[in-house]
Amino acid sequence: MGCKTSVPCNATKKSERCKCLLRAALLIQRWYRATMARIEMRRRYCLNIFQSIEYADEQAQLQLSNFFTFMMDHDLEMTESNFSLAEFERRIDVPDSYYGPRLKFPLTVADANALLDAFKKEELLHARYVLQLLHETRRVLKEMPNITYLSTSYSKEITVCGDLHGKLDDLLMIFYKNGLPSEKNPYVFNGDFVDRGDNSMEILIILFAFLLIYPNDLHLNRGNHEDYIMNDLPKIGSDFKKFILQVHGKVILYLLEDVFSWLPLATVVDSKVLILHGGISDTTDLDFLNLFERSKVREHVHVGLLLSSLKNLAAVGPHEEDSSRDPTQKEWQQTLDILWSDPRNQRGCIPNKLRGGGCYFGPDITAKLFERYNLKMLIRSHECKQDGYEIGHGGKVITIFSASNYYEDGSNRGAYIKLNPDLIPRFIQYQVTFHSAHSPPRINTVEGAALKALREKIYANKTELMEAFMSKDLTGAGKLSVSDWAEAMESVLQLELPWRTLRAQLARLSADGRIEYTSCFYDLEIEKPVEEPSLVETLCKYRKDLEMIFNFIDKDQSGLISLEEFHHTWRLFCAHMGVETDDEAIIKLANTIDYNKDGYIDFSEFLGAFHVVHRLDKGK
Amino acid sequence: ENEKTDSEYNTVAEIEKKITEAFEVFDHECNQTVDVREIGSIVRSLGCYPTEAQLHELLAEVEEEEPTGYIHLQKFLPVMTRVLVERSYQPTPEDVLLHAFEALDVNKCGYLTKEELVKYMTEEGEPFTQEEMEDMLSAALDPETNTMRYKDYITLMIVDDV
């Protein structure tokens, strides 16, 4: 291919030179496109990995929320959560040593700015103000209809934001680029403000504060995550903070769940643009949705199944509630549909099995709804999109997602929509980045994180996977064909991932081209090896969940629970989750962890031991 | 991957499964179809280096009689299997790629200016789209000198491609 002439071109050489350049350019373009395609493929399957694990976890977490509710002492929280502003003031003291924002109700822009400043500096808001804020927010939300009708009159542009998922940096980025909410700058936040990110509480506090200041210009739609709070109590730092939040944590939790249940379900702009979190189904009835008491729908999927299983477990039933407070089947179904559904290109409407709630709706379903209600556009969120937004159904359905780097640094951009009075959407994209501005985040970083998450899942399912492997390994050689290995992986993990494509990152090939299946577990180990391997796996799988539960039952917030409490809770948990438990093994385990032998376990230390360590990480 | 076991274990069945998997990564609806615009990515991610012209030929084979904008796995699978079995569209060795850049580097300075790169990539061969050009520039160009040191760039891309 050499064309290394240093002699200046003359006429005859020129045409040769041109051909040479053409070939060179072609070669480079061919190579470039192939390379970029492979990177794109990796980006896609990384997103697949993240998404599959996320949805699987979400389903598991839904089960957990009911367990949580069952554990709560409803009566106490209910009383406390109904205190007035003045009573909160009286009962909860804010010490002089507290330097954070001190809110005065009714809130003003000065309060909102104080909150933004405080959160930028990673300060927390005192529990009394949190409670008062929530109290006021609930009061204001209760007066709002299920569906809010807005207009872009006075040439106002309305900004629509999607999922934030506790990522404060993205909210701050939006405010930076687009300005703070005000009468001249209305916003719609389309649900999923919380969970996964680190700053769910901060985001809620900011959004609720602006809601109180500009109730006609700051609109919140409920998302499927505004239903139960799993990760929301902010990170506890010093003892002081621990005191503030843990002591009042339960009441905050209870009040917050109430506030969530009062979030409106949808917003309609100029009677033409429908904005809601998930999607629609073939039975979505906006008139019905606008009329029923929305706060009745509190726990979404699996309600029926789990409530009945709880009845078998519960010695004490805190849910001695009036059944007229329960939603009807239709109310439950209609809400579920709009909070959980996803659009797809195929016609029709089928149950959304990936999510476990809502449905997949096709362009014909959209068209029918539009015809029935004279709509022009549907703006929804709920799904992470690489570019922060996606347009589907021939321009009729827009997905808007505002949490950039959702799965990992570099996984995706965030975006928001500017809707002008012509109802033509403009998309503004952004990506919060901690790297230098020049280089886009490398695919290797995203892939590394995706594979790490996947490997942890593999570890947590080791027993089942080994059973599946061995059942296919008829000769006991310790090896399987790629095909058999892939089948086994999918049958146990059920993540619908491209196993052959991922193979090189997950397992070793032997010389004969077959997979040594135990190599799947090579690079992973538990920090503190323990005798009971299957028990360890279970603890590994549910580590985060157990941490939350233990935090919850730790009544005096000492970080310690008695062996008895530990044992009791563990048994209940296993029964609830349908996990087989060996009582003796657990007691034995707990005893080894009770270092002081005083009958108490430091549960953080206990659970910390079941963190999966990636051998390759050591020495980093 | 172990080269010498290729013939033994890369049976047609395995190849077909590999193709199906790659296809499914882009099959958002899980209904055995992909957007026609993704076919290039799928073919290339399976290790092939077709030119755009070759890709169009391939597309003509897998499209429906009346193009719908979607390609069915049913049609794609046999065609792609043949491509892989026959090892069509082989990759470019690293040194050949380097020579190609050197051919464009008229002054033999070891780098291409932004203008040169844009000119060649958007005017010669199978021209880049504006998006492709911008993407390449953002990764390849040293913002201080506005030049592309192509040897470094190749190394960078190959690291990413592992």
B113 and B152 both lie in a single domain: yes
Cα dist from A498 to A535, B24, B35, B85, B100, whole Å: 29, 8, 18, 21, 35
B61 and B110 both lie in a single domain: no
B16-62 pLDDT tens trace: 988 998 998 888 767 788 989 899 999 998 989 999 999 999 999 99
Q: Which residue has the tokens 């998997």?
A: B21
Confidence category of residue A203, pLDDT binned at 50, 70, 90: very high
B16 and B81 both lie in a single domain: yes
Q: Which residue of A3, A31, A498 is in closest CB contact with B21? A: A498
pTM exceeds cut of 0.90 = no
B22 domain residue, yes or no: yes
B124 domain residue, yes or no: yes
Is the pLDDT assigned to residue A180 strictly greater than 50?
yes
3-state secondary structure of A515: strand
Å between B74 CA and nearest CA of chain A: 17
Is the pLDDT assigned to residue A411 strictly greater than 80?
yes
A481-494 pLDDT tens trace: 988 999 999 999 98
Cα dist from A49 to A390, A409, A447, A522, whole Å: 20, 15, 9, 20
Q: Within B26-149, where are the H helices?
A: 39-45, 52-62, 73-85, 94-104, 114-123, 130-140
Number of domains chain B contains:
2
Confidence category of residue A240, pLDDT binned at 50, 70, 90: very low
Confidence category of residue A339, pLDDT binned at 50, 70, 90: very high
Instruction: Choose between B160 and A99: higher pLDDT.
Output: A99
A509/B121 CB distance under 8 A = no
Give the domain-ending residue among B68, B85, B102: B85
B75 and B104 both lie in a single domain: no
The pLDDT of residue A311? 38
Confidence category of residue A9, pLDDT binned at 50, 70, 90: very low
Predicted complex ipTM: 0.90
Which among B43, B28, B38 is positioned nearest to B79, based on CA atoms? Answer: B43
Is the pLDDT assigned to residue A617 strictly greater than 70?
no
DSSP state of A154: T
Å between A34 CA and nearest CA of chain B: 5
Torsion of CA A342, A383, B42, B57, to 10 degrees: 60
The pLDDT of residue A613? 58
Å between A1 CA and nearest CA of chain B: 7
Cα–Cα–Cα angle for A157, A158, A161, nearest 5°? Answer: 140
Contacts of A442 in chain B (CB under 8 A): 160
Is the pLDDT assigned to residue A447 strictly greater than 70?
yes
Is the pLDDT assigned to residue A215 strictly greater than 90?
yes
B8/A34 CB distance under 8 A = no
B111 and B44 both lie in a single domain: no
Instruction: Choose between B35 and A63: higher pLDDT.
Output: B35
Residue B153's domain is classified under what CATH number? Answer: 1.10.238.10
B31 domain residue, yes or no: yes
A561-583 pLDDT tens trace: 777 777 777 777 777 666 676 77
Across A123-132, A304-313, A457-466, least confident range? A304-313
Is the pLDDT assigned to residue A325 strictly greater than 60?
yes
Å between A536 CA and nearest CA of chain B: 33
Give the number of A-B residue pairs with CB atoms closer than 8 Å: 153
B67 and B98 both lie in a single domain: no
Q: Which residue of A21, A31, A443 is in closest CB contact with B120? A: A21
B162 domain residue, yes or no: no
B57 and B77 both lie in a single domain: yes
Confidence category of residue B8, pLDDT binned at 50, 70, 90: very low
B80 and B106 both lie in a single domain: no
- Packing angle, helices A443-460 and A11-71, rounded to 10: 40
CA–CA separation, A275 vs A419, rounded Å?
Answer: 12
Give the domain-ending residue among B57, B85, B113: B85
B23 and B78 both lie in a single domain: yes
B51/A30 CB distance under 8 A = yes
B33 and B69 both lie in a single domain: yes
Interval A40-60 mean pLDDT: 78
A497-515 pLDDT tens trace: 889 888 888 898 888 888 9
Catalytic hit among A225, A277, A300, A393: A225
B134 and B153 both lie in a single domain: yes
Choose from B10, B19, B44 for mutation: most chain A CBs within 10 A: B44
B72-81 pLDDT tens trace: 999 999 999 9
Q: Is there a contact between B21 and A498 (Cβ–Cβ < 8 Å)?
A: yes
- Report strand pairing: A524-526 vs B112-113: unpaired
B1 domain residue, yes or no: no
At B93, which helix (H) or strand (E)?
none
B38 domain residue, yes or no: yes
Give the domain-ending residue among B61, B85, B109: B85
Confidence category of residue A531, pLDDT binned at 50, 70, 90: low
B94 contact A CB<8A:
no
B10 domain residue, yes or no: yes
Cross-strand partners of A561:
A601
B12 and B81 both lie in a single domain: yes
Q: Which residue has the tokens 């012509």?
A: A422
Is A576 annotated in the active site? no
Q: Which residue of A23, A26, A44 is in closest CB contact with B25? A: A44
B32 contact A CB<8A:
no
B50/A30 CB distance under 8 A = yes
A439/B50 CB distance under 8 A = no
Q: Which residue of B1, B92, B157 is in closest CB contact with A27? A: B92
The pLDDT of residue A470? 93
> Alpha-carbon Rg of chain A, whole angstroms?
27
B11 contact A CB<8A:
no
Q: What percent of chain B has pLDDT over 90?
A: 36
Interval A194-211 mean pLDDT: 88
Is the pLDDT assigned to residue A398 strictly greater than 50?
yes
A28/B100 CB distance under 8 A = yes
Which among A432, A405, A428, A401 is positioned nearest to A417, based on CA atoms? Answer: A428
- Show Cβ contacts of residue A544 under 8 Å, excluding neighbours closer than 6 positions: none
Confidence category of residue A312, pLDDT binned at 50, 70, 90: very low
B155 contact A CB<8A:
no
Interval A59-82 mean pLDDT: 60
Q: Which domain holds residue B17?
A: 6-85
Instruction: Choose between A12 and B106: higher pLDDT.
Output: B106
